[in-house]
Structure 1
């Protein structure tokens, strides 16, 4: 639960949750992240020191931090990690932030006052890696001027699904989204069931304006 107090201690369930995310998905994550978790790198948390909503930042053991720190490492986040909430039984979207090769912290990307994350029920199928401050000009060049006016550039990011890159354009429900590929094809991408369905490219304006419901 966020905002009720300013705890400094990292909870055992947070370490367990990170371990489950990074330790059981070797095809999606570099082994270095699991090494950080089991090494004892994280010693506490920072709360309320970021403009990212519901963000929990980590404190480190200084010597271990030097071991994992990479001066030229890029800044990014793993977004749309879906974890079941034991209170509501719904899946909450979680992002994990990385800077200079080190896990910085995480956020629950939904306004919720109370939660209990189930570390045994984690879905990373539609997780995507978003580089912070990256150039999206290649995707923007595929869009018309009217389409670009309806899209927030920070909402555009790549996700790798079945070894192919799709770019997020518009969020739908429960982690589903409208995406585009580099060949300018448009898709509706869902996670439950996992499906990638091509849709008429000419529908994008109506979708962005909310005039068309694909459900």
Structure 2
């Protein structure tokens, strides 16, 4: 579930504290979430992508090793685990913490308002956590239905659909590719491969159904 191409982007090695905070938080959640710990133990996460969200400046996305094939389940509904509270190491500040899961894999996290604080990795308060599924009330997906045929629609997960503004143009994000690139469609129906390094918007001369069926 990447929200891409914010102006200030950086890629860095995944930090130990990020993984430990996530691991210790998941430990406090109900049993249905415990399998997510295996992803952290496996060394799945290789990089943290900061500033790639157009809708949430606090969102940090993960890049993955080839082990993602061992965990990814494309047909599973994506969700976020939210309303979790964490504290800084001094206990003076409380931040809201969210973990994002897509295709059964931890996609990233957000710590609301976090900036140059040291988080206490043992501090997660999950007593009032909420699981929200991405495909609930997705207005962008409803709008996309008007642009594509039923065959293509069957190949698209509603949770993957959201608007992205690039170069004064509006695209619907359809599917993530490698390294943060993605497939998008404009409102007139043309589909594109959109890359970020280098930044390019490349028209595709095949149908969306053909591309997604590969």
- Give the counterpart of 2:36 among 8, 33, 42: 33
Deviations along 1:44-92, whole A, 9 cap, x unmatched? Answer: 1111212222111111111x10010001011210011111112561221
What secondary structure is seen at the aligned counterpart in 1 of 2:96?
strand
Deviations along 1:88-146, whole A, 9 cap, x unmatched? Answer: 6122101110101000000112x34332110121100011001113149xxxxxxxxxx
Paired residues in the alignment total: 131
Deviations along 1:131-184, whole A, 9 cap, x unmatched? Answer: 113149xxxxxxxxxxxxxxxxxxxxxxxxxxxxxxxxxxxxxxxxxxxxxxxx
Give me the whole-angstrom Cα distance separating, in 2, the residues matched to 1:112 and 1:33: 24
Give me the whole-angstrom Cα distance separating, in 2, the residues matched to 1:36 and 1:48: 23
Q: Is the contact made by 2:95 and 2:114 (CA closer than 8 Å) also made in structure 1?
A: no
- Give the counterpart of 1:11 among 15, 19, 29: 15
**Which residue is equivalent to 2:59?**
55
Give me the whole-angstrom Cα distance separating, in 2, the residues matched to 1:5 and 1:135: 29
Q: Where in structure 2 are there 5+ consecutive unaligned residues?
A: 1-6, 139-214
Give the alignment's TM-score, normalised by structure 2.
0.56
Superposition misfits of 4+ residues, deviation over 4 angstroms: none
- Give the counterpart of 2:79 among 40, 53, 76: 76
What secondary structure is seen at the aligned counterpart in 2 of 1:121?
coil
Give the alignment's TM-score, normalised by structure 1.
0.55
**Which residue is equivalent to 1:113?**
115
Give me the whole-angstrom Cα distance separating, in 1, the residues matched to 2:90 and 2:134: 32
Structure 1 residues 103 and 116, CA gap change in structure 2 (3 angstroms): same
Q: Where in structure 1 are there 5+ consecutive unaligned residues?
A: 137-215
What secondary structure is seen at the aligned counterpart in 2 of 1:50?
coil
Give me the whole-angstrom Cα distance separating, in 1, the residues matched to 2:78 and 2:30: 20
Structure 1 residues 100 and 4, CA gap change in structure 2 (3 angstroms): closer
Q: CA RMSD in A?
A: 2.3
Give me the whole-angstrom Cα distance separating, in 2, the residues matched to 1:91 and 1:30: 23
Give me the whole-angstrom Cα distance separating, in 2, the residues matched to 1:59 and 1:70: 17
Higher RCO (CA 8 Å, separation ≥ 6 residues): 2
